[in-house]
Amino acid sequence: MGRVVVDVMPKPEILDPQGKAVAAALARLGYGQFTGVRQGKRFELEVDGEVTDEHLAAARDAAATLLSNPVIEDVVRVAAEQVRAGR
Amino acid sequence: MRVGVVTFPGSLDDRDAARAVRAAGADPVPLWHGDDDLRGVDAVVLPGGFSYGDYLRCGAIARFAPVMEPLVRAAEGGLPVLGICNGFQVLCEAHLLPGALIRNDSRLFVCTDQRLRVERVDTPWTTGFTAGEEIVVPLKNGEGGYVADERTLDQLEDEGRVVVRYVGSNPNGSYRDIAGVSNARGNVVGLMPHPEHAIDDVFGPGAAGLRFFTSLVGAALEQAVSA
């Protein structure tokens, strides 16, 4: 089994209320060294066999049409990932 | 006049939307998200609530529902379409309207009687208002923050496509206090507030919301007379 990982992040100029909430909670818990948090999404797309270039191209396409909304989000990574044995 | 009201799994204002359509003098036609047919309706309302697939983003998966295919085609051909709340989110995800709706800046679900200013009155949904008129309708959302890049916002302003704007307070952090926008042609309108909850003095804060629906019926009548 192969796996393609797609990471999607809110665009820098778009307000990220979730990230702000997490940042405030971190500060409350004493992690004051973190000055900002942005919260994104990670998708794991599984395929039979090794990840091919076709898989990656399809994942990029899916990332642009469904997994992200380009108005508010950037696809920051589409990559094959080594799948550990036993999972 | 027959007005379709689409029900997605999770829609919860479809009955109210149908009631508002009926109160305005038109016939509501229930449409199911899984059907790929608009049943020959003269306009469509996408009601509020939630839609299947909101786990990803509001409206992101709903926009691929079978009913959306003929709807997008018809909307591009000029069919009047009104999206309310979740319906607004679905229209943005379907690229019928610009921008996107994100979680409220307060991170709280907001439920309030909201003051609005109606700014665009030449859409089929707003001809019954006068430009600049202020009204109060209920608003209830968790992800109602309207966002778009500066260029898109400037374009919306320049082309007069901001249909309604929040007045007094901005309940969800929407950029430039935008509560509703239209497409360039004006037939597709998205609203975050809920006019279908303000169609009489008994159950809502007045009846101003009804005029979005009577506007549609009035515009259709006018068209029929002039044709």
What is the arrangement of strands in the sheet containing B162-166, beginning at the earlier edge strand?
B27-32, B2-7, B43-46, B81-84, B188-191, B178-182, B162-166, B110-118, B134-141
Judge whether B57 is closer than 8 Å to chain A, CB to CB. yes
Higher confidence at residue B227 or residue B56?
A: B56
pLDDT at residue B14, as a whole number: 98
What's the distance, Cα to Cα, between the start and end of chain A in Å? 10
The DSSP call for residue A38 is -
Whether A18 sits inside 8 A of B103 (CB atoms) is yes
Contact residues, chain B, for A20 at CB < 8 Å: 107
Average pLDDT for B124-149: 97
Average pLDDT for B136-158: 97
How large a percentage of chain B has pLDDT more than 90?
Answer: 93
pLDDT at residue A86, as a whole number: 56
pLDDT at residue B53, as a whole number: 83
Alpha-carbon distance of B9 to B20, in angstroms, equals: 21
Average pLDDT for B195-201: 96
Lowest mean pLDDT among B12-21, B51-60, B101-110, B126-135: B51-60
Alpha-carbon distance of A75 to A78, in angstroms, equals: 8
Average pLDDT for B146-150: 96
Lowest mean pLDDT among A29-33, B138-142, B143-147, B223-227: B223-227
Mutate to test the interface with B, among A38, A66, A74 (most CBs of B within 10 A): A66
Q: Which helix (H) or strand (E) holds B214?
A: helix B210-226
Tens-digit pLDDT profile for residues B24-63: 999 999 999 999 999 999 999 999 999 988 989 999 999 9
| pLDDT tens-place values along chain A, 87 residues long | 899 999 999 999 898 999 999 999 999 999 999 999 999 999 999 999 999 999 999 999 999 999 999 999 999 999 999 776 655
3-state secondary structure (DSSP) of residue B195: helix
Higher confidence at residue B52 or residue B153?
A: B153
ipTM of the complex: 0.88
Q: Tell me the residues of chain B between 134 and 193 that have a Cβ less than 8 Å away from chain A.
A: 145, 147-149, 173
Average pLDDT for B184-202: 97
Decide if pLDDT at B11 tops 90.
yes
Nearest Cβ partner for A14 among B61, B64, B147: B147
Tens-digit pLDDT profile for residues B79-103: 999 999 999 999 999 999 999 999 9
CB B164 within 8 A of CB B190: no
Contact residues, chain A, for B105 at CB < 8 Å: 15, 17
Judge whether A12 is closer than 8 Å to chain B, CB to CB. no
- Across chain B, the runs of DSSP E, i.e. the strands, are 2-7, 27-32, 43-46, 81-84, 100-102, 110-118, 134-141, 145-147, 162-166, 178-182, 188-191
Mean pLDDT rounded to a whole number for chain B: 96
Nearest to B61 by CA among B89, B24, B21, B83: B89
